[in-house]
Chain A
Amino acid sequence: MKLAYQRRTWGLFAAAIFLSVLSTSLTPWALSRIKNVVIMPLSLSSSVDGVYSKSLGAYIMSLVIGIVIMSSEFQHHTAIATFLAAPKRISVLVAKLITAAIWGALINMVATGFGMISGKIALGFFKNVAQPDSYIFGDYLASAVLTGAVLAVVGVAIGTLIRNQNAAISVGLVFFLVVDRILGLVWTEGGKYLATGLITAMMQLHINIKSPALGLGINSADYLDPWPAAGLMLAYGIVFALVSLITLSRDID
């Protein structure tokens, strides 16, 4: 109820849609020409799949909503009222986790849906565009739901651990947008177990571009299979939920 009342929630929703639409609709241009060399022609299904995969690019907003759900209790000092109304902390945490998972999944799914539509429109400006693989729309939406739910749960854990909202959001964004991606690039073996690697794995992209000249070493076969990736993502969610429970047992100021 609190989320629905807050303008910030709808702002995050709008931002997620904007991010997804922007990255998906610009990708056909960016993907088809890198350093003025056509490396992934849109006449290939895998290239078109790659375009649509960008619709999942707003997953970070699910993380942010998870952080906000928990840390706003401490920022606005409403934690006291909340824990007076519901003193069993595990009940509060479970309610927060469920709420976060639902909103995280919803935001990511809706943003992904809008992204796909914008991708379809953008691809309409190109000639000789291949049809995407038939499974991708369902798979991407399913990935969006799972990724959104799990990242929102991770966000709740971060918001519980770091009670300063700005610091919590900063830490979350820096980790997922910077550290995770750098690790994924410099430590390929381990990178597939991190959030970005798992999300990529769940999308079942079939891309293999190993071009030393362009500095590209992308091969989607290096990632986990979709189901193990989804399982590991869920496991991360459970671990972070347990971390939340431990940190929430501290005194409430």
Chain B
Amino acid sequence: MSSIEFKGLVKRYKDVTAVDDLSANVEAGRITGFLGPNGAGKSTALRCLLGLAAATEGEALIEGHLYSQLPHPMKKVGAVLDSSGFNGALTATQNLKVICTAGGLDSGRIPELLKLVELDHASHKRTKGYSLGMRQRLSLAAALLGDPDILVLDEPANGLDPVGIAWLRTFLRNLATAGKTVLVSSHQLAEMQHTVDDVIIINRGRLIAAGPMAQVTEGQTLEDAFMRLIGVAK
């Protein structure tokens, strides 16, 4: 069984179809890039996968179950969707404690995770003073609170400087090496070329290619392959 399955997923907002009949699988223990330009429907598909938005048709499953049906969702899936999703009046430690309480998790891992994402020096600082990069790292720590097998990351490199991006790449690779499944969305194709094993490419809500990186790119760069697949001459 695949770790994540999109089965004919459709999401419509009134007259706009954000995701159109998306079917794709994410295999366990690999880093899969969920790629496409801005507005392609990546975030919407991930929100459907994580139960934040209701699918109009079809479904998105995690190990065969809807996210909302998982007995301990944070122990199965860690997600980063919005790096601004912290209460600025609280410190990093307090924000993570709140999430632990909501998810029924032990807060004992918080210091270890803050050290892992290199935020241990700022753990007692209110998050309203955090830079975007610091908030992204804190989001990653939050996603790892339940020591999940699967990670779903929506544009985690947004706002990171080159050092941060290099750190993220190593971070994700270490997670995959440890046996975690990682689904990471991005519109930064050049960066993803060096990070992911498999790709799912969508454009205007529709799947245009999926599979191992080498098979999809056919020896081209990811960017060139993407242009070819969406029919744009470069």
Complex Cα distance, B218 from A61, in Å, reads 64
Mark B93-110 against chain A: 1 for CB-CB distance below 8 A, else 0.
Answer: 010011101110000000
Closest 9 CB pairs of A and B: A85-B103, A85-B102, A87-B68, A251-B53, A252-B52, A77-B85, A87-B51, A76-B87, A81-B85
Judge whether A76 and B94 touch: CB under 8 Å: no
Residue B89, interface by CB 8 Å: yes
Q: Which of A8, A82, A88, A251 has the most CB of B within 10 A?
A: A251
Whether A84 is near chain B, meaning CB under 8 Å from some CB there, is yes
Instruction: Judge if B54 is at the interface, Cβ distance under 8 Å.
Output: yes
- Subset of 16 A-B contacts with CB under 8 Å: A1-B97, A76-B88, A79-B85, A80-B85, A83-B51, A84-B81, A85-B99, A85-B102, A86-B102, A86-B103, A87-B51, A87-B68, A92-B102, A251-B53, A251-B54, A252-B53
Q: A85-B74, A85-B102 are in contact. Are A78 and B47 (CB under 8 A)?
A: no
Question: Taking the complex as formed, is B177 at the interface, i.e. its CB lies under 8 A from any CB of chain A?
Answer: no
| Bound-complex Cα distance A87 to B67 (A) | 7
Give complex CA distance A251, B47 in Å: 9
Contact: B54 with A78, CB < 8 Å?
no
Query: Do B86 and A7 have beta carbons less than 8 Å apart?
Result: no
Q: How far is the CB of B17 from chain A (nearest CB, A)?
A: 15
Given contact pairs A2-B98, A85-B102, A252-B53, A80 touches B82 in the complex (Cβ within 8 A):
yes
Q: Could you count the A-B residue pairs with CB atoms below 8 Å apart for me: how many are there? A: 70
Q: Is A82 touching B68 in the complex (CB atoms < 8 A)?
A: no
Which residues in B have their C-beta under 8 angstroms from that of A88?
Answer: 68
Nearest A residue to B145, CB-CB: A85
Question: Quick one: which of A38-94 are within 8 Å of B by CB?
Answer: 72, 76-88, 92
A5 at the interface (CB under 8 A from B): yes
B73, A84: Cβ atoms closer than 8 Å = yes
B-side contacts of A249, CB under 8 Å = 54
Contact with B along A158-190 (1 / 0, CB 8 A): 000000000000000000000000000000000
In the complex, A6 has a CB within 8 A of chain B: yes
Interface majority SS (helix, strand, loop, mixed), chain A: helix
Min CB distance, A114 to chain B, in Å? 26
Name the distance in Å between B40's Cβ and chain A's nearest Cβ: 18
* A83 surroundings in chain B (CB, below 8 A): 51-52
- Tell me whether A81 and B99 are in contact in the complex, defined as CB-CB below 8 angstroms, given that A7-B89, A251-B52, A252-B53 are known contacts: yes
| Cβ-closest chain A residue relative to B101 | A1
CB-CB contacts below 8 Å: B75-89 with A: 79, 81-82, 84-89
Chain B residues within 8 Å of A2, by CB: 87, 90, 98
Q: How far is the CA of A7 from the CA of B87 in the complex (A)?
A: 12
Across the interface, name the chain B residue whose C-beta is closest to A75. B87
- How long is the Cα–Cα vector from A249 to B51 in the complex, in angstroms? 11
Give min CB distance, B71 to chain A, whole Å. 11
Whether B142 sits at the interface, judged by CB under 8 Å, is yes
B52 touches A85 (CB 8 A): no
**B50 interface residue per 8 A CB criterion:** yes
| Alpha-carbon distance A89/B87, docked complex (angstroms) | 20
Distance (whole angstroms) from the CB of B45 to the closest CB of chain A: 13
Cβ contact within 8 Å between A84 and B50: yes
Contact A78–B52 (Cβ < 8 Å): no
- Known contacts A85-B74, A85-B99, A87-B73, A6 near B90 by CB under 8 Å: yes
B78 CB to closest chain A CB (Å) equals 9
CB under 8 Å from chain B, chain A span 67-126: 72, 76-88, 92
Question: Are A80 and B51 neighbours in the complex by a CB distance under 8 Å?
Answer: no
Interface residues of B in 185-214 (CB under 8 A from A): none
Closest to A252 in B: B52
Q: How far, in angstroms, from A1 to B85 measured CA to CA in the complex?
A: 17
B123 → chain A closest CB, angstroms: 14
Which of A6, A87, A252 is the one whose CB lies under 8 Å from B87?
A: A6
CA distance A2 to B94 in the complex (A): 8
Compute how far the CA of A109 lies from the CA of B29 in the bound complex, rounded to whole angstroms. 55
